[in-house]
Amino acid sequence: MPAQPTPMMAQYLALKEEAGNCLLFYRMGDFFELFFDDARKAAGVLDIALTTRGEHDGQPVPMCGVPVHAAESYLARLIRAGCRVAIAEQVETPAEAKKRGGSKALVARDIVRFVTAGTLTEEALLEPRRANVLAAACEVRGSIGVASCDISTGRLEVEECEPGAFGAALARTGISELVVPDEWDGAPPGAIVRSRGEFASGEGERRLKAIHGVATLDGFGALSRSMLAAVGGLLAYLEHVGRGTLPFLQPPVVRTGGSSLAMDEATRASLEILAASGGGRKGSLIDAVDRCVTGGGARQLAEDLAAPLTERDAIAARLSLVGWLNDEALLRDDLRATLRALPDIERALGRIVAGRGSPRDLGQLRDGMVAAGRIRDLLTGREGAPPSLDSLVPRLGGHAALIDLLTRALVPSPPTERSQGGFIASGYDAALDELREMSGNARRSIAALEAKYRKETGIAALKIKHNGVLGYFIEVPAKHADALMAPNSGFTHRQTMAGAVRFNALALHDEATRIAEAGGHALAAEEAHFEDLTGQVVAVRNAIAATAAALSRLDVSAGQAERAAEGGWCRPDIVEEPCLEIDGGRHPVVEAALAGSGDRFVANDCRLGANDRLWLIGGPNMGGKSTFLRQNALIVLLAQAGGFVPAQGARIGLVDRLFSRVGASDNLARGRSTFMVEMVETAAILSQATERSFVILDEVGRGTSTYDGLALAWAVVEAVHETNRCRCLFATHYHELARLAETCDALSLHHVRAREWKGELVLLHELAEGPADRSYGLAVARLAGVPANVVSRAKAVLEKLERGRAETGGLAAGLGDLPLFAAAADAQEERCDTLSDRLRDLDIDALSPRDALDLLYELKREAGTGS
């Protein structure tokens, strides 16, 4: 029979079962200890020593630990490694445990919080300039509801999407953690799985009403059942990780289809909007344009770039504020200087409402609201200010009473920890001041008592000392101890040391008790004041959040204006007609990189309109085709995000969806080769792009044989021109595609210029009209360092191939006579016949509602209209 575990180990095992697959931080004194497999895993991630403590089932118990005072830094490393942690704290003192169960009673512990990637609020665990988003998703009747929040700021968004758009919704949000119901086939890998019962739309509705104190949710917008189900799952998870305490959540923002520029996962990755292809911020679009001076502003800018607007008036409002601050350089400098000194009041508020706040957070709110008032005074009454400023300035004030309270109550620089007190200002509470004076006079009163005892005993070496075990005690050299050992001396022996003896005395005991009680009462009084101040903040949390949001918007606008002034960027003209007219456009990221090396970026124009909406662009590798494609996509994105753009002039017709298929890589985990990835992305474009979309395509068809690739590229160009009818830049090396200009009236030919000079290739990076004369592939190979004998051999092979092509009429011979979409029409007719036969033989009355719905989805897929 195995030995029974010790009481401590039994307690640990019970808590570990409750923690599930989370690492358990088990509080023991000044350390968080980990045992068994948790210890092995944590020791490997944290690179700390793995030891043992006692035995369990006859085997040594692996153990490691981290100091409580440094726990945040260790938690940060564990979270970055993909771990989740449960924090088990002591929920009673040793004295309380002894009183409850005797001298051998084990101190009670309980899990007080789960620390996960999406539920962080601590400054040390968060990136200041990046939102930390937790999302929950649930499918209801064929639609997926997504609820996402950043609990460090309280922002909550909900949306509904079709299954095919779910990946794009997650990519736009940039989530740190996703929660889904069990038994859902559409759940992405790595998601946190919870009980399906938590994703009940009725429960989500009830909880939202209770949180915001409303009888109806109509004021928040149209919330579907799938949205409410996702909200229910999100709130249940937040309650679980917070052990019953919900964080600060603002009223939900309902994101509807079409309210923002749609971009799929491939497009976001291709354009490197918030992260570069190699990971990290360096080399991304946001890295090149971010001039915000506050964390809140940087997070708002990231949100703007991730979800550009599609409403002309909303875009114009943002552009007007950026334009005004661009013109008012001195005002912009003053505004940015004041913003730069702001604390992150959004996240300080989030910690306070979540019950994880500190005196320092209260001080940050006080200082932030004071600065907001200065900014309001700076911006009030300015001539020529845009109307959009009128909606921001009023939100910067209205906190006079709270500012006054926090100013009177708090010291100028409150500490992070409140357990030691010292954060309530003198003069705020007379009773507290008296307790502090009593406790603070301890040194004087103890010194007076020491002098008294020396005089009474005649022992000049007598001292009163203090330590954490004995408290205050009297110490004399051993040779004087006998005098104090006498029965009527008034002293009580406590401890004999080598060369010294320690005693207690009634007066010393009374004084020590008085000092300890005064200190304890002072700490209790400060704690009570902290709770009261926190309650005052929570009562006006929505108004503070509105101030923080206004400050972030001002920071974004001032930062955009600063970036425009730096680079000579222009204000885009946003129009309804489908056009894209860019004068001297530049790629913001590439231009910034070239500037660092002293090189100049070559600007290029772009002219797309109703009669010239598809450009076919040829030219050599490294000539700048991909850069030209991307820069125009980024200019559209920046413009609809409400910022100036890197160009001399820009007239942009509103874009509903942006697609980028520029470069591809293997996705071996999903069983897809490079060419398969390319075709999947191309298929998404052809099935989703509308007449108001903007598409950039680079080298479609290059991943397969020459004939297959040319055929695919040819058909894709025709489809984009005739069916999608969107604005499109199509880069290719297939010169044969130039013949499409004969049949596609809205297609024009362009190329990036290059010259060979004395055997060397000179890339001009300039765009010119007309088809490319050749690809300069061998010259590029030579530049890349391909051995000369290989290049020479390739040249000989090329000459032979070109002679053969000249004799046979080339790869594209006969394509000009091929009826446009003839094959597609035949396939469509055949598909219609098949569908007609199926419908004719269908017994509708025999179908259940579920069978009928499944059949509709199946027929829709067969018709080629998506799922």
| Helix, strand, coil percentages in the chain from 3-state DSSP, rounded to 5 | 50, 20, 30
For residue 350, give both structure tokens: 């989030």
DSSP assigned state of 461: T
Q: What is the CA radius of gyration of the chain?
A: 35
Helix axes 295-306, 345-353, angle to 10 degrees: 90
- Identify any residues that bridge with 193 across adjacent strands, giving them in sequence order: 180
Which residues touch 236 (CB under 8 Å, ≥6 apart)?
194, 198, 199, 203
Distances in whole angstroms, Cα of residue 506 to Cα of each of 413, 489, 495 = 40, 11, 16
Tokens 């200009």 belong to residue: 741
DSSP assigned state of 247: -
The helix/strand/coil state of 358 is coil
Alpha helices (H) in 56-175, listed in sequence order: 71-80, 94-101, 166-173
Instruction: Return d(Cα 624, Cα 638) in angstroms, integer.
Output: 21
Binding-site residues for ATP sit at 619-626
Answer yes or no: are the C-beta atoms of 610 and 621 closer than 8 Å. no
Instruction: Return d(Cα 510, Cα 495) in angstroms, integer.
Output: 19
Tell me the DSSP string of 663-732. ----BGGGTB-HHHHHHHHHHHHHHH--TT-EEEEESTTTTS-HHHHHHHHHHHHHHIIIII--EEEEE-
Instruction: Return d(Cα 292, Cα 336) in angstroms, integer.
Output: 8
Binding-site residues sit at 619-626
For residue 133, give both structure tokens: 């988003």
Instruction: Return d(Cα 227, Cα 144) in angstroms, integer.
Output: 8
Identify how many contiguous H helices and E strands the chain contains and give both numbers.
Answer: 29, 27
Q: What is the largest CA-CA distance in the chain?
A: 128
Question: How far does Cα 195 stand from its chain's mean position?
Answer: 26
Distances in whole angstroms, Cα of residue 21 to Cα of each of 114, 153, 236, 682 = 11, 27, 18, 40
Instruction: Return d(Cα 50, Cα 43) in angstroms, integer.
Output: 6
Which residues touch 139 (CB under 8 Å, ≥6 apart)?
145, 163, 184, 186, 226
Answer yes or no: are the C-beta atoms of 302 and 696 closer than 8 Å. no
Could you tell me how many residues make up the chain?
Answer: 867
Sheet strands (E) in 543-596: 573-575, 580-585
Instruction: Return d(Cα 266, Cα 462) in angstroms, integer.
Output: 80
